[in-house]
Amino acid sequence: MTTDLPSVAPAVTAELVAALSPRLRKRLDAGVAKLRARPAVREGDAVRIALDDDTDIVLEAPGGTVTSATAIRCGCLLAPDCLHRAAVASAAPIADDTAADDADDPYDADAPDGRTAREDEGTRPEQSRTEAAFDRQPTDRQPAAADRPAPSPPAPPGEADDHDAPTTGHMDAARAVFDATAAVLVAGTDGAGAVLQAELLRAAHSARLAGLPRASAAAVSVVNGVRAARTGDAGYRLADLTGALADVLGVTHRLPRATGAELAGLRGSARRPYRPDGSLRLYGLFSEPVLTATGYAGAVTWTVDTDGRLYSVADVAPGGAARAASAAGRTVRMGDTALTHGELSRAGLAVSGATVSPTGRLGAGGTVRAVRAPGAAWREEPSAGLWAEPVAEQVRRALNGTHDLLFLDVTLIGAVREAAGDCLLADCGGVPVRLTTAHDDPALPFRDNLRLLAAVPGTRLRVVARLMPAPLPRAALLAAEHPGDAAARVNLGLDRLQRADLPRPAPGPVPHPAAPAGVFEEAPLHLLRRRVQQAVSGGRRVLSLARGDRGDGARLRAAGLATAADLLDALHAAAAVRARDAFGRLLPADTDRFARAWLAAAVYTDTVESALCAHAWEKAAVPV
């Protein structure tokens, strides 16, 4: 039913839940589950849900969003203090506060989502990687606490911070978001019901009013991830929610001590600034579908200019898998061009009066003019220059926070079975690379296309993929040369290959590159990562029960990962310690200590995995 409901502003949900009595709060999660099973009927700007034969609940949503508590009306005898109003608000999608600031572009770089992927900068709609990544050094012995500063993006032009240090309002709002997020972490997805979610939404709304849009958006992404986990959403990924939690805790933890440009980066921007960029001659590269957990869908088309700089054009709006699957046929919103996204991925564009965001997103303002122009093949300039860059340099650039696209020349080897499903093994300059699907939704052809490519081992292809930080080389496959025609290309998330498109397999055995040797690929860092993710699912209680397992720490120390072992011990200790009062009764758990211990472990794991990822790609040679 939630897909039929209008979105509800975070402040509305928080207000309705806060107004419930303690007795009704205990029944809220059951009420949400019952409402999800009831059909919703749209009547103009209103949505009506029949609770029984005589009682309805109505949501007034002009523009598709419920913006006040009075817009939700219930016909039961206990209204307006009934459970139904809070339950329906908790079951509905969360409205995007940035829509009012940037209505022309809901796919906003400063509004990360539990995506998806990380949805900022046009990257990974189905994956999440914390933007609060710490300094990535290929060593185990480095500061383990979350106090270690992270590189923050510079303040956009015209958006310089008015303060050299955080104000009292900033610190109070950050503290509220940190505490509410810590409470969700301590409870885990199994225990973080509608009440805890509403508290985090209230803190997120307060953070936005205090001028902290980045913390606000990150907190909302956590709530979206928790809801997806609790409802069994097929698009839910534990790694996404883990990254979202690390992001919001990291931002709010560092903000009180930040100054200048770092503070501006931690505060974020509510509206993406666009700067004039004159005239551009662009050549289409590929298009990828966008399908987020928050109800947005569409496509992003990537282009390159004559100097080798990347630009993207997005068409993302509320919708589901059907909108994402059909996005290739939608017209590009720029100037008077009639090009669709699928056509632009293979053609060119001449733009005058262009406006560009700091992440390379092209604006579609009224002064922008664009006409169709000839494109260029991937093996012609300027596109060919993207593949000429050494692979190791591309990986370092992606890990340092720039766009995470990889332009690779590979030789297909075949399918490899993994716990999460089959992936395509390929040789990239002597390094075995696992190429996975960018999205698992069956409405998108990623999985079917990957399976067909795995059937033609020995085929050499030029591909575009998105880096997936891991101890072994791994990337999500986005586009590739047509296996039967090197002059053509395939958008693997929008175009569907046929078996007739495949060439005959090359005769003779297919060379299988040796896996890179060394301690890095054998480092048991997954032991720490497993506990970090277990805390997200099961909360503090799961780790307190697992404290007696000393084998993980011993294995980490034996592998030279003493810092990882210390962080694991500290995490278990923070989960298990419970103080007692003068009468011997257990006091509430120290959520602050547990959240900080978890954040240190999550940041360390992300940092070391990034270092191992860079090391694993170092031996990739540039094809001649």
CA atoms of 330 and 550, how far apart (whole Å): 56
Does 102 map to a domain?
Answer: no
CA atoms of 128 and 142, how far apart (whole Å): 24
Q: Of all residues in the chain, what percent carry a pLDDT higher than 70?
A: 83
* Residues whose CB falls within 8 Å of the CB of residue 193, separated by 6 or more in sequence, listed in order: 28, 29, 187, 230
What is the separation of C-alpha 567 from the centre of its chain, rounded to a whole number of angstroms? 25
CATH number of the domain where residue 488 is located = 2.40.50
Does 109 map to a domain?
Answer: no
DSSP classification of residue 191:
H
* Segment 549-588, tens digit of pLDDT: 568 888 999 888 999 999 999 999 999 877 777 777 877 7
Does 156 map to a domain?
Answer: yes
Instruction: Mark whether 127 and 206 lie in a shared domain.
Output: yes
Instruction: Mark whether 581 and 560 lie in a shared domain.
Output: yes
Does 332 map to a domain?
Answer: yes
Instruction: Mark whether 473 and 493 lie in a shared domain.
Output: yes
Does 583 map to a domain?
Answer: yes
Instruction: Mark whether 57 and 75 lie in a shared domain.
Output: yes
Instruction: Mark whether 248 and 205 lie in a shared domain.
Output: yes
Does 288 map to a domain?
Answer: yes
Does 339 map to a domain?
Answer: yes
Q: Are 178 and 595 in contact (CB under 8 A)?
A: yes
Instruction: Mark whether 294 and 245 lie in a shared domain.
Output: no
Note down the domain range covering 190: 120-267
- pLDDT above 90: residue 45: no
The mean pLDDT of the chain is 83
Instruction: Mark whether 497 and 400 lie in a shared domain.
Output: yes
- The angle that helices 28-36 and 194-209 make with each other, rounded to 10 degrees, is 90
pLDDT band at 149 (very low <50, low <70, confident <90, very high): very low
Instruction: Mark whether 557 and 494 lie in a shared domain.
Output: no
* Segment 581-619, tens digit of pLDDT: 777 787 777 899 999 999 999 999 999 988 888 988 987
Which of 239, 267, 295 delimits the end of a domain?
Answer: 267
Which of 217, 248, 267 delimits the end of a domain?
Answer: 267
pLDDT band at 514 (very low <50, low <70, confident <90, very high): very low
Strands, DSSP E only, in 271-430?
275-291, 296-305, 310-318, 348-356, 369-373, 405-418, 421-428
Q: Which two tokens stand for residue 79?
A: 């209204």
CA atoms of 384 and 285, how far apart (whole Å): 10
Across the range 35-42, mean pLDDT stands at 89
Q: Are 539 and 230 in contact (CB under 8 A)?
A: no
* Segment 372-424, tens digit of pLDDT: 999 999 999 999 999 999 999 999 999 987 789 999 999 999 998 876 678 99
DSSP classification of residue 417:
E
pLDDT at 544: 83
Domain count, the chain: 5
Across the range 4-9, mean pLDDT stands at 88
Instruction: Mark whether 558 and 473 lie in a shared domain.
Output: no
CA distances to 99, 196, 307, 320, 358 from 275, in Å: 20, 40, 18, 31, 8
Instruction: Mark whether 280 and 392 lie in a shared domain.
Output: no
Does 586 map to a domain?
Answer: yes
Q: Are 327 and 339 in contact (CB under 8 A)?
A: no
Helix ranges (H only) for 363-480 are 384-388, 391-399, 446-453
pTM listed for this prediction: 0.80
Taking the alpha carbons at both ends of the chain, their separation in whole angstroms is 55
Strands, DSSP E only, in 189-294?
275-291
CA atoms of 624 and 608, how far apart (whole Å): 32
Instruction: Mark whether 207 and 258 lie in a shared domain.
Output: yes
- pLDDT above 60: residue 104: no
pLDDT at 420: 66
- As to burial, measured by CB atoms within 10 angstroms (0-12 exposed, 13-18 middle, 19+ buried), residue 1 is middle
CA distances to 38, 446, 533 from 540, in Å: 34, 37, 11
Which of 323, 340, 373 delimits the end of a domain?
Answer: 373
Instruction: Mark whether 397 and 473 lie in a shared domain.
Output: yes
